[in-house]
Every structure is written in C-alpha cells, then in structure tokens.
Structure 1
Amino acid sequence: MTVPLSGVPLADHAAVYAALDRAGFTDVWSSEVAGADAFTPLTLAAAWQPRLRLGTAIAPVFTRGPGLLAMTAAAVAEAAPGRFALGIGASSPVLVQDWNAVPFEEPFRRTRDVLRFLHAALCGETVDQAYDTFTVRRFTLERPPAVPPPVLLAALRPGMLRLAAAEADGVILNWLSADDVPRAVAELGEHRPGFEVVARIFVCPTEDAAHARALGRRLITGYLTVPAYAAFHRWLGRDSVLGPMWDAWAAGDRRGAAAAVPDEVVDALVLHGAPEQCIAQVRRYADAGVDVPVMALLPTPELAAGGAAALATLIPRLGIAEGS
C-alpha cells in the first residue's frame, strides 16, 4: 500500500499500519510530491509495525544532495534492517525546478550518477569521484547500514529501463495498465537474482463508476501531460487515444482535455469497482510480471462519508489474509 493514506494524519497511522499488517499487506511504499516527504512515514512504520517492508517510490535524485540522500536512506535502513528498499528517480521539472528551485538538467545522467554513488556510499565506501553531473569529495557515511538497502530505479522508457536492469536492484513502474507490463518488462531482459519489478497501481474501490472516472480523468490529465509521461504513453501506443487530450491541454483547454480521455483508458489505468473486483485487477499485474504490486488508494464517496470506520472496513477487503 502507498502511504501515508490521504485524509489520515501521520500521528494516526499506527492503527493504519496495524490494519494493513493484519490484512496481509507485506509492504508500505511512500511517494514524495507535495505532501509528506518520502522518509517520515516509513520511519514511523519501522517503529510501529516491525513486520512490514518499507520502500520509497520515489525519492527524487535532484532535491537532496547525494550525501544527504545517502544519510537519510542509511538512517531508515538502520531503523528497519533488511526491511527497507530505496527507490529513486528523476521526478519532474515541476517538482524539481518549480517547487525546489533546482535546475532539472540531464535527468538520465543525474539518475545514473546518483544510483552509482548510492551503491558505493551505502556499502560504507569512501566516495571521492567526479561523476558526469556532480562531484563528491571524500564522503563516508559515519553509520553505514549493516544491511545496505537495495536501490531501485523508477523507469518509464527503454533507456531508463535498461539502466535499471544493468545497474539497479529493481525497477519501479508507474502509470501503466496490466496489459502494458509485458512491454516494459521485456526491455529489462533476463533478471538478475533478487531483481524486483515494483508497480504503483491506482485503485479507487467504489462501484460509483462516474466518481472513479471523473477522478481518473483529473489524474490522467494532470500526470500524462507531463512530457516524460506523455512520451511513455506514446511509446506504449496510446498516441491516437490520448492525442485529443494532449491537443486540448496544449491549447489551454483543461476541461476539454479531461473530457477527451476515453473511458477505456481511465478504466485501464485507474482500477475501480468493489474492493474484490479491484483485487482481481491488481492480480493481473502480478500475472503479467510485477513482483510487488503497490496500491495507491484514491478517495471514494464511501470513505468520505464513513471516515475512519469506513477505512477500517475497507482495508481487510483489499488485503490478502495470511494463508489464503
């Protein structure tokens, strides 16, 4: 499950983590956009629920210096030895440049360089090297983790997917359908032992299809108009079905862009229906080659009306009880 859950204060997540564990969830993965940072929710989970595995999906490679990123990852790895995976990625110009005042330059090479730095630093090595996009002078972690965390790479198109396959410990996929997974996985080639394919999957567990589709259209127009995601979906073959959305967005017609997203695209990228139907759709990702399907729970009318009680009822219906 993606954490923190929307509408639940971080201080109240002890109950959420316990409910996820009881429901058979094995992992909690955080994201980092404009809400909580990627590491604080996982630090709380490390203390409150010692069986859950923790992961970032993702920590951007631009918004922290290489040394600070290594220090932060090492601290979480020390708090949850053997249970933490560090997912990194380029993020986007809006998050990096517009919100964090850092130039978004050469994202592929920056991501590759940070990946190489982290592998060395998290193993306790002294790093004294000029990379293509930055230089580090004699950095050594004072407290390297006893169990260095695997470093996974967020990837969309062939270049980054192949970098993940060649140098990372796994790959993180995002904004794709179950039917898209084989094409992405094919670019990875034969996996090394221990290499993991993680995918974030948007889930809106409601039978109110109009609500789910309206929310899905807003999300799709917000994300898939970002150049990297637009290029990704062109590569996946959605040029014709998403072309009208991109044209309307480029013309400044935000309402028209949302209206131009076909139902079949929304239904493929934002899973909805009764919780049991959503779980069946999530299993299709696993069948297609995803090792770790990570649900991102979206708001529903039922959750809005029922609050904490509705969430407590929903989590077991989305989980897989142990032994089943």
Structure 2
Amino acid sequence: MTRWGLTIPLPGTPLPAHAELVRALPGWGYTDVWSSEVSGADAFTPLALASVWQPQLTLGTAIVPVFTRGPALIAQSAATMAAAAPGRFVLGLGASSPAIVEQWNGLPFEQPFQRSRDVLRFVRAALSGEKVSGDFDTFTVAGFRLEQPPVERVEILLAALRPQMLALAGSEADGAILNWLSAEDVGRCVTAVANPRARIVARIFVCPTEDAGYARSLGRRLISAYLTVPAYAQFHRWLGRTEQLGELWRLWSAGERAAAAAAIPDEVIDALIVHGSAADCRTLLGQYVTAGVEVPVLAVLPTPEVRTVEDLARTLAELAPAAGRR
C-alpha cells in the first residue's frame, strides 16, 4: 500500500507553527512525516513533536548521518523515538556528505560505505536488545546495551545512490531511501536494490507553482548545490546524465558558479523538480509510485503564492492524494 509523506520542517515556517499543519495531515491523505538534517533542524526533534501533535502518523528520519553521531547515540535516539511512537518510527541512516561531516562538524569523511554498513549492523543489534561488543571496520564497541530497547521492531532504511549502497539497502536494511532522481530513474534503483520486499522511499522536490520560470530558477540553484557533490555527481553519471550535466560539473570545478547553474538544461530541472499546478504535481508524483516508490515524501519548496501559514495549509491539502479524489 502506498503511503504519502511530507518533509518537515517546511522551509520558512517556524517549528511551533507546524502543530496545526501536522494535525491536519491525515485528513488530507498524508500518512507520514519525515525529517531531514542538513543545516536547519536536527533529525529527531521535529519528529518527537509530531508524535505528540498527531499520533496517527508514521515518523521517519531521512536521514541521520552515520558520521556525526556515535553509533551508541544513534541507537539511543532511535530507541527513544520508538518509545514515543511505538510501531510508527522508521530510522533512516545515510553517509551524508563531506561538507556536512568535515566542513561543518570537523570529522573525517572516510570509508562512507563501510561506515554506513557498520552503523547499520551495530544499530540493528543494539535495538534488538543485544549486548554489542566487537571490532567493526570503522569503529570498535565494547559492551554496549540499551537500557530500554524498543518493544516493537524498528524498521531501518539506508539512503543509497549507487549500486553497492543500493544492494546493501536491499540485503541488510529494510529498504532504501532515494533522493534527487526522476520517476524514470526509479526502476534502475529498484533493480539495484534487488529485493522485492524492500521498502522504497523517495524524497521528491515539489515546487507547486504554474510559474515555470520561477520553478526552474529555484531548481537551478538547488541542483547546482547538490549535484556537484561528488556522490550525487557519480549517481547522475550512473543514471546516464553525463552529457546533460557535464558542463555544470566543468564550470563548477572552474569556480564559475553562476555559469554552472545556467548550464543546467531545463529538461533536467523538469525531470528532478516536480512543478506546475497542484493537479499536475499529483500526476507527476503518481509516476514515481507507478515506477516502484512505496513512500513518496514531498519536499515542498517555497513559491511566490505561499505567503502565510494558511496559504501553506491550502497548498498541502491540494497536493495531497485525497485532493485528486474529490
């Protein structure tokens, strides 16, 4: 069954102002809220608040970086969220990026695949109540046991971009979290996961405006910031966009930031950013579901039409799957 998620916090909206919005989500057809952790809110606090504001929702992290917290602390935070929302919490883990790990947190970004695998294995064991000791490839743990392991099993997903990590998500996690891809890209990722029982979650950037110029201008800024990160660049080379994005990467490496953004073709923006009327956006989101995404998670971008919380509420209601059935 398809679930429908929303990324929180929403941009430009204070966290306390989310309370009424979150309470309304099930009535509009949303089943999930998922956090992100970049340079705004942390991954857990918005979900803790949402667990009180609306106890019907499934709560997920997308993602908790495996480098910026110790393995035991990740397990503790996950167990706490699982206690606050029994049976409704999903832990999403991921490698994150050198900028977040090294430049912002002063930690080495080394062996991201191995670190992700090791944290996944450790947290899985710790959440089951085991006493964990051992030499993992990227860290050593001696005698850790959660005081209060979750009563119900916690689903663990892995953010994955390329074949090795996608295969790990299918073989050792409960599924994969995808990001920055088109509906047409989903099938290739699902094939690489290679597990028909794996849950496929995708964060999808949605710019609900009929002003295509605005949406593409915003999309250029976002794409130039994200797809120049080495992991995302390699992901899109694997997806077959070397010719379309080669000039972006060349100019970005040369320090010509504005020219790099301008070099992104409109068709790439239109593939990676869902935009248009609310009805158009719902249709495009449905293509991700048809391609194999079980949980589309909308990352709603700001638009000129949304100036107040009331505007935002109306937009979220119009984007929701229930709106298409009225």
Q: TM-score, normalised by structure 1?
A: 0.97
AA of the residue aligned to 2:111 = E
Residues in 1 aligned to 2:154 and 2:216: alpha-carbon distance in whole angstroms: 38
1:92 aligns with 2:93: no
SS of alignment partner, residue 103 of structure 1: coil
**Contact 1:3 / 1:28 at 8 angstroms: preserved in 2?**
yes
1:311 alignment partner in structure 2 = 312
Q: 1:217 aligns with which of 202, 213, 220?
A: 220
SS of alignment partner, residue 95 of structure 1: helix
SS of alignment partner, residue 257 of structure 1: helix
Residues in 1 aligned to 2:235 and 2:188: alpha-carbon distance in whole angstroms: 11
Residues in 2 aligned to 1:273 and 1:191: alpha-carbon distance in whole angstroms: 32
SS of alignment partner, residue 214 of structure 1: helix
2:161 alignment partner in structure 1 = 156
Using the aligned pairs only, state the percent identity.
Answer: 61
1:227 alignment partner in structure 2 = 230
1:106 alignment partner in structure 2 = 111
**Contact 1:200 / 1:293 at 8 angstroms: preserved in 2?**
yes
**Contact 2:62 / 2:93 at 8 angstroms: preserved in 1?**
yes
Runs (4+) of structure 1 exceeding 4 A deviation are none
Residues 121 and 322 (structure 1), Cα distance of their counterparts in 2 relative to 1, 3 Å cut? farther
**Contact 1:74 / 1:148 at 8 angstroms: preserved in 2?**
no
Q: 1:58 aligns with which of 44, 54, 63?
A: 63
Alignment size in residue pairs:
320
2:3 alignment partner in structure 1 = none
Q: 1:179 aligns with which of 184, 196, 202?
A: 184
> 1:204: Cα distance to partner?
0.1
**Contact 2:279 / 2:324 at 8 angstroms: preserved in 1?**
no
> 1:320: Cα distance to partner?
2.2
Q: 1:127 aligns with which of 124, 132, 138?
A: 132
SS of alignment partner, residue 302 of structure 1: coil
AA of the residue aligned to 1:212 = A
**Contact 1:56 / 1:87 at 8 angstroms: preserved in 2?**
yes
Residues in 2 aligned to 1:26 and 1:290: alpha-carbon distance in whole angstroms: 15
Q: How does 1:126-275 map to 2 (within 5 A)?
A: 126-192=131-197, 195-275=198-278
**CA deviation map 1:46-99 (0-9, x unaligned):** 011000000000000000000000000100010000001000000000000110
> 1:323: Cα distance to partner?
11
SS of alignment partner, residue 186 of structure 2: helix
Residues in 1 aligned to 2:226 and 2:219: alpha-carbon distance in whole angstroms: 10
**CA deviation map 1:219-267 (0-9, x unaligned):** 0000000000000000000000100110110110000000000000000
Residues in 1 aligned to 2:246 and 2:285: alpha-carbon distance in whole angstroms: 27
2:77 alignment partner in structure 1 = 72
SS of alignment partner, residue 187 of structure 1: helix
Residues in 2 aligned to 1:309 and 1:323: alpha-carbon distance in whole angstroms: 20
2:28 alignment partner in structure 1 = 23
AA of the residue aligned to 2:54 = Q
Residues in 1 aligned to 2:17 and 2:142: alpha-carbon distance in whole angstroms: 41
Q: RMSD between aligned alpha carbons?
A: 1.1
SS of alignment partner, residue 308 of structure 2: helix
Residues in 2 aligned to 1:128 and 1:322: alpha-carbon distance in whole angstroms: 51
SS of alignment partner, residue 142 of structure 2: strand
**Contact 1:19 / 1:315 at 8 angstroms: preserved in 2?**
no
SS of alignment partner, residue 51 of structure 1: coil
AA of the residue aligned to 2:7 = T
Which ranges in structure 2 are unaligned for 5 or more consecutive residues? 1-5
> 1:190: Cα distance to partner?
3.3
> 1:13: Cα distance to partner?
1.3
2:121 alignment partner in structure 1 = 116
SS of alignment partner, residue 59 of structure 2: strand
AA of the residue aligned to 1:266 = I
**Contact 2:43 / 2:64 at 8 angstroms: preserved in 1?**
yes
